[in-house]
Every structure is written in C-alpha cells, then in structure tokens.
Amino acid sequence: MMKRYITPHFQMPNIDLHSHSTISDGVLSPSRLLAHAASRGVNVLALTDHDDVAGLNEASQSAQQENIILIRGVEISVTWRSRTLHILGLGINPEHPPLAEGLKNIRDGRLDRARAIAAQLDKFGIRGSFEGANAQAGESRLIGRTHFARFLASQGYAKDVKSVFKKYLVKGKPGHVSHVWTSLNEAIDWIRGSGGQAVIAHPARYKLGHNLLEQLLCEFCELGGAGLEVVSSSHTPGETQQFAELAARMELYASCGSDYHGPGESYFDLGRLPALPPVCTPIWNEWNIPGISELSQPS
Ligand code: AMP
Ligand code: MN
Ligand code: MN
Ligand code: MN
C-alpha cells in the first residue's frame, strides 16, 4: 500500500476523540469526515455525534479504507443542576438497547424544543424557522440549534452561524428555550452499560466556578465517569493546564478532541490538537487498540 503523506502535527499518534458529522450538526457526512481526517494525518478518530449513533457504521467502513482507527462515540446532552452539560461516550456499543432507546428519547425531546424555538422566533417576526431548520438538518434524525442558526444565517439575520447564536439562540435571546435533557446518572449508565467510558466534554465551557466544578467532578467519579476532555478547541492554554491538573488530582483520565463540525465552523481542524500536558494520563493508555503502539514509534 502507498504510504500516506503525514502532515505535521503536534502529537504522535495523532488522536482526535471528538467530532461531528451530518448525522448531528456537522457539515461532512461520516465518510467525508473520515477522508478529511486522513488528509490531516489523523490516526485515531472518535465520531461523537450529538445524541445519535447512526453514523458509526458508515464511519467504520470508511475508517478501514482510510487506514484510521475509529473509536465509536456519542456526545450526550445532559441536564445537571439546571445546566446543560455534554458527556462523551467513547468505545460504546451503539446497539446497547438502553443507550439506543435513551438517545431516541432525547431526539424526540429535541423535536418538541425545536417547535418551541420556532414559536418564539415566530412571535419575534421570524417566520418559517421550523421548516427552515428541518431543511438544514437534511437526513439527520436530529434537530438542533445549529440547524436554526444555519437557516437564520442563510436568511441574512446575522453574518454567520456564530453571530446568530449570540443574537438569537443563547440564554436571554428571543429564540432561546430552556430544555431538560437526560440526567448525568442515566447518561453514564448507558455509556458504561454499553462498554464505553464517559468523559466530560469541554469542561471550561460550563463556567461552573470552583465549588460547583468540584461537586460535578465528585458526582461524576462516584457515578463511574472515567475522564475529562482536557484539550479542546473550547479551551484556552490556561484552561487546558487547569483541567489537566484537575484530572490528575481527581484520578480521571484525560481526553483530547477538536469538536470538529466542518470547514469554517470550528476553531481547530482535525488532527491539529496540541499534546496533552505531561501531568495527564491519556484515556487511550489502556485501550487495546491493535497498531496504536507502533504508531508511537517514530519511523
Ligand atoms: P443544541 O445541542 O441543539 O442546543 O446545540 C448545541 C450546539 O450548538 C453545539 O454543539 C455547537 O455545535 C453549537 N453552538 C453552541 N453554542 C454556540 C455558539 N455560541 N456559536 C456557535 N455554535 C454554537
Ligand atoms: Mn454541535
Ligand atoms: Mn458539546
Ligand atoms: Mn461536540
């Protein structure tokens, strides 16, 4: 086989454990995502679509063609103490019935929320956003705020997706609807029950403050949570260091992920992540992935 041209990157093997496809709110189909990952020199990729696992079959077929190790993942929307948190499941079995049924319930809840968002935007004089967001969602079984944002941006309500969020979709803005997702307990149970590991995604994004953060981490550990996403496109270098130390102190594994949503919608491209700080124990350390240790040897 022809040796793939490996583009320069920051750690070897090149591991990215958080990404999205058109199955949720990403821009690339699972196979295009894998092709893009290969072009960026990614060796190990987790596909972690929001609240759905429907992309994992296509992704694992493409991963074989692209010579990438695919980690089967999901990003579950959770409500903890009236706040939304995202919990990644890594190494899951997507067919585990409680996981599959739980995710289906979350997607049903998203549909109700979408109707409520559209009704609010309607009152604000923005018509047709439910249909517009649905069209943006395409064949996805899930509707999210990103689909609303893309529709509103396409109609010229703001210059891009980011600005639409700021102006319409975050707390205090006309299209914001508060929503109750699943519990932390259930999300962790589904993940662990399916053979996976639970990881708190982009912890700095929640702005929890010292006490709440400690409480979350204690609860997460008691419930059997495994790791903290230390390197994330949502984190500043200072936050990365802070969460690296926290993970080490709490004896949690550290994970790293770009949270890639597609060209033009992410801060980090795939395969361009800084290395985990040395204090961390990488979550993949104990994964028995064939070929991963060979990748660690410089060739
Ligand atoms: P939802 O789960 O439907 O509430 O949507 C959450 C998703 O919206 C996140 O996963 C991001 O992809 C996107 N998102 C959230 N906040 C922002 C923001 N401020 N700017 C751009 N995208 C955002
Ligand atoms: Mn998203
Ligand atoms: Mn997230
Ligand atoms: Mn994500």
Same domain, yes or no, for 41 and 62? yes
* End residue of a domain, out of 114, 144, 169: 169
pLDDT at position 5 over 70: no
What is the rounded average pLDDT of the residues 270-291? 90
What percent of the chain shows pLDDT beyond 90? 88
The closest-lying atom of ligand 1 relative to the alpha carbon of residue 75 is 10
Is residue 4 assigned to a domain?
no
User: Can you give the pLDDT at residue 6?
Assistant: 42
Structure tokens at 241: 């260091």
**Residue 27's pLDDT is what?**
95
pLDDT at residue 268 in the model: 83
119-177 pLDDT tens trace: 999 999 999 999 999 999 998 999 999 999 999 999 999 999 999 999 999 999 999 99
Q: Establish whether residue 146 lines the binding site of ligand 1, counting it when its CB lies within 6 angstroms of any ligand atom.
A: yes
Average pLDDT over residues 253-274: 91
**Residue 102 token pair:** 């739980």
- Calculate the alpha carbon distances from 155 to 8, 95, 113, 138, 144 in Å: 39, 39, 21, 17, 17
How many angstroms separate the Cα of 87 from the Cα of each of 7, 121, 183, 256, 260?
30, 29, 10, 13, 16
Domain count across the chain: 2
Question: How far apart are the C-alpha atoms of 9 and 117, rounded to whole Å?
Answer: 41
Q: Has residue 299 got a pLDDT over 50? A: no
| Distance, CA of 71 to CA of 80 (rounded, Å) | 26
Domain match, 92 and 197 both:
yes
Model confidence at 289, in pLDDT bands (50, 70, 90)?
Answer: confident
Report the distance separating Cα 219 and Cα 213, nearest Å.
10
- In the predicted structure, residue 11 carries a pLDDT above the cut 90: no
Whether residues 200 and 267 fall in one domain: yes
Mean pLDDT of the chain: 93
The answer to whether residue 294 sits within a structural domain is no
pTM: 0.95
Banded pLDDT at 24 (limits 50, 70, 90)? very high
Q: How confident is the model at residue 201 (pLDDT cuts 50, 70, 90)?
A: very high
Kindly state whether residues 110 and 190 are assigned to the same domain.
Answer: no
**What is the Å distance from ligand 4's center to 58 Cα?**
19
Q: Is 25 in the pocket of ligand 1 (CB under 6 A)?
A: yes
Among 172, 196, 223, CA closest to 283: 196
Q: Is residue 241 part of a domain?
A: yes
pLDDT band per the 50, 70, 90 thresholds, residue 74: very high
Q: To test ligand 1's pocket by mutation, which of 25, 182, 260 has the most ligand atoms within 8 angstroms of CB? A: 25
What per-residue string of b and e applies to 193-209 under the rule 16 or more CB within 10 Å gives b?
ebebbbbbbbbbbbebe
Band the pLDDT of 296: cuts 50, 70, 90.
Answer: low
Distance 86 CA to ligand 4 centre (A): 8
What pLDDT is recorded for position 10? 57
Tell whether 89 and 115 lie within a shared domain. no
- Examine residue 57 and state whether it is found in any structural domain, yes or no: yes
Hey, which of 140, 165, 206, 232 would you mutate to test ligand 1's pocket, going by the most ligand atoms within 8 Å of its Cβ? 165
In a domain, 291, yes or no: no
Please tell me whether residues 83 and 223 are part of one structural domain.
yes
Q: Quick one: 46 and 136 in the same domain? A: no
Contacts of 27 (CB under 8 A, 6+ apart): 261, 262, 263, 264, 265
Query: What pLDDT band is residue 12 in, cutting at 50, 70 and 90?
Result: confident
Quote the pLDDT of residue 3: 42
Ligand 1 contact, 192 CB (< 6 A): no
Are residue 195 and residue 79 in the same domain, yes or no?
Answer: yes
Neighbours of 65 (CB within 10 A): 11
Quickly count: other Cβ atoms within 10 Å of residue 283's Cβ: 27
Residue at which a domain ends, from 169, 193, 211: 169
Of 80, 102, 89, 117, the C-alpha closest to 192 is: 89
Query: pLDDT tens digits for 37-61?
Result: 999 999 999 999 999 999 999 999 9
Q: Is the pLDDT of residue 294 over 80?
A: no
Residues 112, 214, single domain; the answer is no
Mean pLDDT confidence for 168-196: 98
Assign residue 33 the CATH number of its domain: 3.20.20.140
Query: For ligand 1, is residue 145 a contact (CB within 6 Å)?
Result: yes
* Structural domain for 193, as ranges: 15-96+184-286
Q: Is the dihedral angle over the CA atoms 222, 223, 224, 226 positive or is it negative?
A: negative
Residue that has been written with the tokens 């992540």 in this structure: 273
Q: Which atom of ligand 1 is nearest to the CA of 51?
A: 2
Which CATH number does the domain housing residue 122 bear? Answer: 1.10.150.650
Distance (angstroms) between ligand 3 centre and the Cα of 231 equals: 13
Ligand nearest to the Cα of 259, by number = 4
Is residue 239's pLDDT more than 90? yes
- Does 188 lie in the same domain as 47? yes
Q: What confidence category does residue 1 fall into, taking pLDDT thresholds of 50, 70 and 90?
A: very low
**Judgement on whether residues 218 and 126 belong to the same structural domain of the protein:** no
Q: Which ligand neighbours the alpha carbon of 204 most closely?
A: 3
Q: Whose CA is nearest to atom 16 of ligand 1?
A: 165
Residues 78, 190: one domain?
yes
Q: 268 with 258: CB under 8 angstroms?
A: yes
Residue 9 is predicted with a pLDDT of 46
Compute, in angstroms, the gap from residue 252 CA to the centroid of ligand 2: 24
Q: Which residue has the higher pLDDT, 272 or 96?
A: 96
